[in-house]
Chains A and B, each alone.
Chain A
């Protein structure tokens, strides 16, 4: 039994290969016409490209317009968008009357729904290949499939947006990295009060005369220590390496490379909010207005 199969297999195989090749070629030929990017290149450049650009909804118009180009091209400029391009490609189009073709052409691109209603197979056509018919009309089934495809596309887009939302890092309000609501503007400390620490938001809130309220990131710009407020000296002092910053967060002295970093502070409807996800780096020490030793 095995021998018998083995005996047959090469021929069978070749037969099958031949079959498959034929199928593939047919598929390739089909896909060429149905605007497959890969195969279409082999064709002569210009007409192929334009043929590809023709959407399926417009194809009735294409076939129709092709035949009577001398007649219809001049009175109906609306045709040119699709019709002119396809003239070369669909040179073997069927005959039809000019009036109908004009009407279809101007409507073809506009509404997919109206296309099948408007197209009536011209009575002059005696023989029509299935392919030609496929080019012309869109039945309910085809239309429904396109709608379904569009809906699928929409769903994919929506899923993409969903995944984007899922991936995008978020921080809760009141969590470091997120927003901190600090109440009404009226509740801000006076401009001469000591800075108020907000430990969960890692910032010091100060109200200044020149720049209004500021949220200073609680970490020293030198090596990341937490600096302290020294009331007696009216400035911030870092315990690790002795950097000093003014009440407004400007560098005074010490090894820190820049003034204190600040968080974005916004005022909306009289409410103060600090966004700890948006940090602005302090200016270099050399530019600090509070610098003790001028450069």
Chain B
């Protein structure tokens, strides 16, 4: 019988087999020793890895769901939602609330279950419930991720000073100013007065329009507002947006029914409750003021 070329693969010598087996066992012992040796640093690296990935995922959740109210940089929007990227928030908020849990729990609970709110609050919208456990769209892990993302601002926020801290005091809630150590009595919630409020106050404070719309900058190809379009040149363009609507009608409709026309490239995130929060006269004066090129601040 002729010997095939691959016959060398058939090892007959018991010595060779035993040698191979011995080598294999020694090699395995060596590799396992190496693995055991690196286990501690490996587990540390993996722990950090998954913490980092959680923040990454949280950043995506935040950008998609939270940034339109709490701001891209987490510094809140005037009259829309409070700041999270704030030294006060990290250092004093819980103490002022006399909340005994951790900030992690506080953020996570608020994200998960939302916040109820009365209509006359300083904030334009209430915090919706986000966890799917309470009827929201986010899974538990996403709530956890967005919480780690928010808490990751701590380091940066610690560098803030009284001037740069974006915290907007809650109305009718006592707070401690961390920069002076003084107890600050904030103004009580504004009484609903029969007097019409001036458009400047509506735009800048009460309705918080300024949080998303820049009234001083024009909206151009190269200079677009991040969350809502700039309104600086709206008096020129408003009449051209929707056929059949002149500038005043367009702005009026955009305030009371903001989602009827959404500027291309923007998300329909503008609150739809302005009609309830302003009287018709106030809306009219606001429309006039926005469309006045020589408006007064």
Residues of A within 8 A of B (CB): 220, 223-226, 230, 232-233, 237, 239-244, 253-255, 292
Contact = CB atoms under 8 A, between A and B. Distances in A.
Interface secondary structure of A, over-half rule: loop
Contacts of B262: 253
Contacts of B267: 241-242, 255
Nearest to B135: A226
A188 to B, nearest CB: 26
Interface in B245-259: 257, 259
Contacts of B268: 241-243, 253-255
Given A254-B268, A255-B268, A240 B136 contact: yes
A242 B275 CA distance: 16
A228 to B, nearest CB: 10
B136 A253 contact: no
Contacts of B275: 232
A239 B128 contact: yes
10 nearest A-B pairs in the assembled complex, by CB-CB distance? A242-B268, A223-B137, A226-B135, A224-B137, A225-B137, A239-B128, A254-B268, A242-B259, A253-B259, A240-B128
A241 B132 CA distance: 15
B269 interface: yes
B201 interface: no
A163 B272 CA distance: 54
Contacts, number: 42
Interface of B: 65, 125, 128, 132, 135-137, 257, 259-260, 262, 267-270, 272, 275
A241 B272 contact: no
B243 to A, nearest CB: 12
Interface secondary structure of B, over-half rule: loop
B259 A240 contact: no
A292 B136 contact: no
29 contacts: A220-B137, A224-B132, A225-B128, A225-B135, A225-B137, A233-B257, A233-B272, A239-B125, A239-B128, A240-B65, A240-B128, A240-B136, A240-B137, A241-B65, A241-B268, A241-B269, A242-B259, A242-B267, A242-B268, A242-B269, A242-B270, A243-B268, A253-B259, A253-B260, A253-B262, A253-B268, A254-B259, A255-B267, A255-B268
A124 to B, nearest CB: 61
Contacts of A242: 259, 267-270, 272
A253 B267 CA distance: 11
A156 B51 CA distance: 53
Contacts of B260: 253, 292
Contact of A225 (B125, B136, B257, B269): B136
A255 B275 CA distance: 23
A257 to B, nearest CB: 14
Nearest to B260: A292
B259 A244 contact: yes
Contacts of A253: 259-260, 262, 268
A255 B136 CA distance: 16
B274 to A, nearest CB: 12
A291 to B, nearest CB: 13
Contacts of A232: 275
